[in-house]
Structure 1
């Protein structure tokens, strides 16, 4: 019987790459995101598995619960939850930060993860099995200047992953924390509010990680033997030694 995975933020980047990797492994997919046209295009790539789409913003608690509760009986036994939705907004020192940016990050990266998990975990507990994968960041392990609130939000994900593991292991639920370094996706374009030149500089002079690299690690974790939990994975580009230490060419 095929496993079912729910992936948030599946319309682009790591979420999209994870959906593609899961599909190749025959995992049926609940694709979640705010851009339904992109979710629809992605689902049309998959012909040998079942897919269904949920269009909601994880920051909205009522819509999140309503969307997940709307799943038909064929989709309610979720085996894998990938909490991928999240973002960074702004790159200013904390005294100059925009509170709207803070809200966007905390509401998505922390509260949104909690809302989706709250909607999915009770079913896993009832069935006595499941696997939750939370996307943290190297920023959750190393705070850096001008990224204070983003780093705080990802440090919260680290704590949530550890706490979930403490609470849920007794119910047969595995919890994996994935902490990527520099991954070339839409991340920097969002952080710098569409400033393409500034976003491109983030990845200049070295070979950054790709979304597919992170998807491979997620696939590895969810395919570990039943007696093995991959608790935490930190993934850096070969040229990256720490959160803000990157050895660039030229």
Structure 2
């Protein structure tokens, strides 16, 4: 009897996480969808199941270490888990360091760094002797700074360094550590959440950029990296739209007139 590989995706209620769940399900994985918004992942699991895929929804806040521990016990009943996609994250605000709200910095660190730490620590024991893959969805913000991004940049630098460190510490074990660092991605919620629901400011982020990345672009990349042969590790893959040369240089088309 063939064992169905299982992939756990955090932050699967929307955007990159939901698109990654669809991509990995299509690639033959049973996907375990986690997010705080249980209604969203229930709907996605139903969609995938109706399409003939295997999907399980599990409401989870990755910043709650005790809850992550309970989730790890839940996974014991599902059989072998081969992939963890640490996608849960987000940004809050664009204030300069001098006036930024420490609560925003703490919230960003807890989800982007500690959430990834909790999930990774909970699942690593599964792969002491059997192959496993940890994906950390960081950001180009984890590789270069920009004004107004101090808290988010610091958090994503933390995620980037975690990936690098894990790769060193787990060398010799059958575990791959893959980091995917997207640049400008237009999703329904990322910029809107960053600007606390201000639709005008959120839209301005993408103004004049004809083709920013989509959630599906990033999900395709994650799925490709995960489905390479087991001996192939995509250490770090930076993904940007063609219009974005760096975090602070973006080509924007202007309307004529």
TM interval, shorter chain, is over 0.9
Deviations 1:77-108 (A, max 9, x none): 21000000001011100111011111110000
The corresponding residue for 2:235 is 231
For residues 130 and 78 of structure 2, the distance between their equivalents in structure 1, rounded to whole angstroms, comes to 18
The alignment status of 1:137 with 2:148, answered yes or no, reads: no
Aligned partner (choices 104, 118, 122) of residue 121 of structure 2:
118
Partner Cα distance (1:66, 1:95) in 2? 39
Shift in Å at residue 42 of structure 1? 0.3
* Structure 1 residue 60: Cα displacement: 1.2
Does 2:244 align with 1:240? Answer: yes
Q: Who is 1:101 aligned against?
A: 104
Question: Which residue of structure 2 lines up, in the alignment, with residue 25 of structure 1?
Answer: 27
Q: Give the paired residue count.
A: 248
RMSD: 1.1
Cα shift at 1:67: 2.3
Task: Tell me the distance in 1 between the aligned counterparts of 2:169 and 2:30.
Answer: 27
For 1:216 and 1:94, the matched residues in 2 are separated by 35
What is the Cα deviation at residue 49 of structure 1? Answer: 2.7
Equivalent position of 2:149 in the other structure: 147
* Uncovered stretches (5+) of structure 2, i.e. residues with no partner: none
CA distance in 2, matches of 1:86, 1:169: 26
The equivalent residue for 1:165 is 167
The structure 2 residue matched to 1:90, chosen from 90, 93, 113, is 93
Do the aligned residues in 2 keep the contact of 1:55 with 1:67 (CA within 8 Å)? no
In the alignment, structure 1 residue 62 sits paired with structure 2 residue 66? yes
Higher mean C-alpha deviation, range 53-62 or range 32-41: 53-62
**Structure 2 residue aligned with 1:213:** 217
Preserved CA contact (<8 Å) 1:88 1:150: yes
Q: Is the 8 A contact 1:182 1:236 kept in 2?
A: yes
TM-score (norm 2): 0.94
Show the counterpart of 2:194: 191
Deviation at 1:53, TM superposition (A): 1.7
Partner of residue 51, structure 1: 55
Aligned counterpart, 1:81 = 84
Give the whole-Å Cα distance in 2 for the aligned partners of 1:54 and 1:232: 29
Q: What TM-score results when the alignment is normalised by the length of structure 1?
A: 0.96
Question: Following TM superposition, by how much is the alpha carbon of 1:74 offset from its aligned partner in structure 2, in angstroms?
Answer: 2.2
Shift of 1:214: 0.4
Quote the Cα distance in structure 2 between the aligned partners of 1:121 and 1:83.
13
Which residue does the alignment assign to 2:6?
4
Which ranges in structure 1 are unaligned for 5 or more consecutive residues?
Answer: none
* 3-state SS in 1 of match to 2:136: strand
* Other structure's SS at 2:47 match: coil
